[in-house]
Amino acid sequence: MPKPTMKTRGVLLSMRAANEKPSRDENFSAWLLDQARELRTRQPVGINWQAVAEELEEVTARIRHALLGDLEALLQHLLKLQYEPSSSEWRGRSRSWKLHAAEHRDGVIDILEDSKNLCNSMHEFVRKAYPRARRRAALETGHKESRYPDACPWSRAQILDVKFFPESFK
């Protein structure tokens, strides 16, 4: 005779497994969902407070890192679009640079839409990401870093504007 099952979040679980507490080490995703359920039902006895705090800190760090990475890549491509001196190089590569800038801009926007706190700290992320983007643009193009401005030349609105791509440097 088959085991009785119940459907939870689209996954069939045996009744026995549904009553067991998931292990953080063995099934992290299930553990997170269980901890969220415990929080929602206000059952503090079932919450591993230390582990939840650690995971929240790590998740926050990963989100901040993802935002910084997407912002660095976006700014790097915007720099190449605006400051590439060779018209033939610009014509040959600008389409690719725009595509990559759009991809990373979408990532930045997605993260910021999910976090008002990060949105309010955007200037701090730009301040950290821009020097890295400047260095990478110089490495990729073979130009000196001094070719690019010391500070980010675009406003927050331009950085986040899905239609904004700077014109080539003349």
Q: Are residues 100 and 40 in the same domain?
A: no
Q: Are residues 35 and 108 in the same domain?
A: no
pLDDT tens-digit series, residues 11-59: 444 444 556 888 877 776 677 778 778 778 877 777 788 888 788 778 8
How many beta carbons lie within 10 A of that of residue 3, not counting itself?
10
Give the CA radius of gyration of the chain: 23
Structural domain tally of the chain? 2
pLDDT tens-digit series, residues 103-121: 999 999 999 988 888 888 9
| Structural domain contains residue 170 | no
User: What is the pLDDT at residue 170?
Assistant: 52
pLDDT tens-digit series, residues 124-144: 999 999 999 999 999 999 999
Q: Are residues 80 and 136 in the same domain?
A: yes
Whole-structure pTM over 0.85, yes or no? no
Range of the domain at 89: 59-160
Find out whether 53 and 117 touch, Cβ atoms under 8 Å.
no
Q: Are residues 11 and 67 in the same domain?
A: no
Q: What is the dihedral of CA 11, 14, 15, 20, to 10 degrees?
A: -90
User: What is the pLDDT at residue 40?
Assistant: 80
Question: Nearest Cα to 72, choosing from 110, 95, 105, 94?
Answer: 105
